[in-house]
Amino acid sequence: MAAKLPTGAPASVGGLGLRDSGLAVLVMVIWGFNFVVAKTGLAELPPIFMMGLRFAFSAMLLVPFVAMPRGRMKEIAALSVVLGAAHFSMMFTGLKTIDASTAAIAIQLQVPFSALLATVLLSDPPGWRRVIGMAVAFGGVVLIAGEPRFEGSLWALGLVIGAAFVWAVGNIQVKKMGGIDEMALLAWMSVMAAPQLFLLSFMLEEGQFAAAQAATWLGWGAVAYQAVAVVAISYGIWYRLLARHSVSAAVPYTLLVPVFGVASAVIWLDETLTARVAIGGAITILGVAIIILRRPHLADPLPDAEIDPIEGRHG
């Protein structure tokens, strides 16, 4: 009979095993395919309004099952402004204009941005490998930005890159918060983000009610997919995997997200994958991989207080 692990220790510090590897890949498929689903929904609904609906539905799904994190609501409110309102409004406004495959690649800059902010704000020395990784990742996106078809829509690509930076800022906020139940954080951030997004939508967009009335099952299905599959299901699975295994074993799976995102966009949306975008995407993923394999916690949304700085394990 195997010895019982101490409370809070990960079930594995090496590989995830066949079952959990399958679950990790499933989560990456859900996240990658979300670029296609979101792009489909954006054809029928204004982007910021759609995000407001997504967070409203997420709140209704999660709040009944989690406790209110008392004493942490001010921190969650601040996070809802950054990750909820700013990140998602920028990300999906940009995604409405540019290809889903391009967005799936460009948003990966959230990892090198996290590395930069960790150096500046958390006094986390970058090391030469991470510096190389950051340079390579940014270089890949610069190569993609030179694609002729983005002429006149670079502002949209800039919004997605800006959203990646805002995500990195939010990641630093989460790490400074210390230990907090992850699903409670998602639930109550959704409660606070939804009204902010609706307000932004009515300030910056128009035709929301008409779009909602005219939306087909594809538009409403996109909202439901994000609230149920992306938030309730995939994050629930992901956080359990991070509780059972080392960060260094789990987080590298996130490198599959742009792969599934690009592949699904090419297959389902008939997007053209040019040589320039393919090469730039490969370079970007390589740069992100260098950073993640060196410092996996930079891509992990859980607080640093729960991560062993030597072993990279939760406990």
* pLDDT higher than threshold 70 for residue 232: yes
- Mean pLDDT of the chain, nearest integer: 84
266: which 2 tokens?
Answer: 């090419």
Alpha helices per DSSP H over 43-153: 47-62, 73-79, 88-97, 100-106, 110-121, 127-145
Alpha helices per DSSP H over 178-299: 182-204, 208-214, 217-224, 236-244, 247-250, 256-268, 275-294
Distance CA 227, CA 128 (A): 39
Give residue-wise pLDDT tens across range 13-41: 446 788 889 999 999 999 999 999 999 99
Cα 3 to chain centroid distance, Å, stands at: 36
Inter-CA distances, 257 with 39, 104, 253, 261, 262, Å: 16, 8, 8, 6, 9
Residues constituting the chain: 315
Give residue-wise pLDDT tens across range 81-135: 998 899 999 999 999 999 999 999 999 998 888 888 888 776 777 777 888 888 9
Helix, strand, coil in percent for the chain, rounding step 5: 80, 0, 20
Least confident of 33-37, 43-47, 60-64, 240-244: 240-244
Could you tell me the residue ranges of all domains in the chain? 17-304
CA 164-169-201 angle, to 5 degrees, is 65
pTM confidence score: 0.84
The one-letter amino acid code at 129 reads: R
